[in-house]
Amino acid sequence: MIHFSQPSFSIIFCLLFFWACSVKSDQAETSQNPKPPNVVLIFTDDQGYQDLGCFGSPDIKTPYIDRMASEGARLTNFYVSQPVCSASRSSLLTGCYATRLGISGAYSPNVGKGLHPDEQTIAEVLKPLGYATAIYGKWHLGSESELLPTRQGFDEYFGIPYSNDMWPFHPWQGTRFNFPDLPLLENEEVIDTLEEQSMITTWYTERAVKFIEKNKDHPFFLYVPHSMPHVPLFVSDKFKGKSEAGIYGDVIAEIDWSVGQILEALKTNGLDENTLVIFTSDNGPWLSYGTHSGKALPLREGKGTAWEGGVRVPCVMRWPGHIAPGQTIDKPAMTIDVLPTVCAITGARLPDKKIDGTNLSDLILHPDQYEQHHDAYWFYYKKHELHAVMSGDGRWKLYLPHGYRSLNGRIGTDDGLPIPYDQNKVVTPELYDLQADISERSNVYEQHPEVVALLMEEVEEARSTLGDNLTDRIGSEVRPLGTVASNN
């Protein structure tokens, strides 16, 4: 038997006492300050409103995204701020209308334009909280090194810097625009140039899964902006010819598989209940490509227009234990609301500069208690042209005089080549009741002068702050876009 002297026993007792207190204190701190939630943001390219099983597609099967919806919520009135690549992505990542950022359209390679480095992205607001951040996919907010995602808060980047059709092998526009080789980037280094793209969705997915596994013990923000289903369409052999909806359906099936792989990685690593997953698209379908494009039915028109088919996109959100399963949320929301919502659920500080979005965590977490946050939504296109405003409750949408492209009911071909658009015009303002007329067929402008008057107040607010090139109005709150010396 070992005998302790009185001093030795006292020392050991004190050490054990302080150790126990320390453990209890650590446990209390952990319970009071749990690990903040992870955020996974999956952003497809040119996917139409109807192009998911859970959004009514008659021939595209998306079992993993459908299951994600059954375990979370479908947002059926979810909008992008502009119906085109660069502008839409800038709003998603910054919480601002693209026009506020000086951004419009889709930037071609090496033009020296993109998101200003002083703007704060979701990645940048999360970095002070210790989040690991990564983007695997299409950036399209500047292709020069000074404008790449590694300069906007992302620890890791793997993907292409702009759209996959800005590529010399595109069957229609590659030679027409004299595009350079399509670079595949690892952070800021070109590691390959792509002569074909069949593995690109798989590569993004593999990177995403590895990132989740590597960062399972601390918070992370994972951004997966897929290159597909933007034309030209590419799909790996494991999904080629497997869909009832042709090659477009094959491509969506592979994206659905990718979502399934990400969800499985979260589950395997015990992260399910501490991860908000958002799936949505950057704008509506590029309809002139016929069977190589998606569908926005029952909405009007598609990509490149402010009609519902161009700016209303499918959205699914999942966060087990927080978002009640099986919900359909029909209140409006927009990509500008994603950043402030992420800040609210993680405790991150909002950007120092003015943003346009609002925290909609109550919409997804407590929809029965939701109160309208926006008075209106503004829809710009092209070079800062104000095309439409929509009431904050999502019911009324007023279109201002502007030109727009349309196929006027024609259907594109099967060969992946586009048919030309007709150039239509809204000559006098038009008003639509989206609750009664989701397809925007009946102009009720004359019947509701009081609604028009209220929405025209929003038009004036938009024009005074962000401007309107259609009326030569210059906004007072537009910030500079990022510009660097062009590589051309």
pLDDT digits (tens, 9 = 90+) for 213-248: 999 999 999 999 999 999 999 999 999 999 999 999
Q: Please say which residue of 331, 356, 371 terminates a domain.
A: 371
The DSSP code for 156 is E
Report pLDDT for 178: 84
Lowest average pLDDT, out of 294-298, 376-380, 415-419, goes to: 415-419
> Does 305 share its domain with 448?
no
In degrees rounded to 5, what are phi and psi of residue 198?
-65, -20
> Does 197 share its domain with 76?
yes
pTM as predicted: 0.92
Map tokens 């989040």 to a residue: 131
Flag whether pLDDT at 5 surpasses 60: no
> Does 451 share its domain with 477?
yes
Residues 6+ apart with CB under 8 A from 61: 53, 243, 244, 249, 253, 256
**179: β partners:** none
Map tokens 């690549």 to a residue: 85
- Answer yes or no: is 339 within a domain: yes
> Does 392 share its domain with 476?
yes
Vertex 385: Cα angle to 382 and 387 (nearest 5): 105
The single residue of 140, 292, 374, 384 carrying the catalytic annotation is: 140
**Domain range spanning residue 267?**
35-371
Number of domains in the chain: 2
96 is catalytic: no
Q: Using CA atoms, how far apart are residues 354 and 359, in angstroms rounded to an integer?
A: 14
- pLDDT tens for 19-76 read 444 433 333 333 345 789 999 999 999 999 999 999 999 999 999 999 999 999 999 9
Flag whether pLDDT at 427 surpasses 50: yes
Class of residue 164 by CB neighbours under 10 A (exposed 0-12, middle 13-18, buried 19+): buried
Mean pLDDT of 171-185: 81
Q: Using CA atoms, how far apart are residues 254 and 248, in angstroms rounded to an integer?
A: 10
> Does 229 share its domain with 303?
yes
The DSSP code for 52 is S
> Does 342 share its domain with 410?
no
Q: Please say which residue of 313, 339, 371 terminates a domain.
A: 371
Supply the CATH number for residue 408's domain.
3.30.1120
- Answer yes or no: is 9 within a domain: no
> Does 332 share its domain with 386?
no
Contact 431, 421 (CB under 8 A): no
Q: Using CA atoms, how far apart are residues 451 and 435, in angstroms rounded to an integer?
A: 14
Contact 142, 84 (CB under 8 A): no
Mean pLDDT of 399-423: 92
- Answer yes or no: is 103 within a domain: yes
Residues 6+ apart with CB under 8 A from 445: 398, 428, 429, 430, 431, 452
For residues 37-47, b (16+ Cβ closer than 10 Å) or e, as one string?
bbbbbbbbbbb
Q: Please say which residue of 346, 371, 396 terminates a domain.
A: 371
Mean pLDDT of 261-284: 98
Report pLDDT for 30: 34
- Answer yes or no: is 16 within a domain: no
Closest residue by Cα to residue 338 from 65, 78, 77, 74: 78
Read off the tokens for 85: 């690549």
- Answer yes or no: is 106 within a domain: yes
Supply the CATH number for residue 306's domain.
3.40.720.10
Report pLDDT for 175: 64
Vertex 144: Cα angle to 139 and 148 (nearest 5): 40
Flag whether pLDDT at 7 surpasses 70: no
**121: β partners:** none
> Does 479 share its domain with 453?
yes
387 is catalytic: no
Mean pLDDT of 382-406: 97
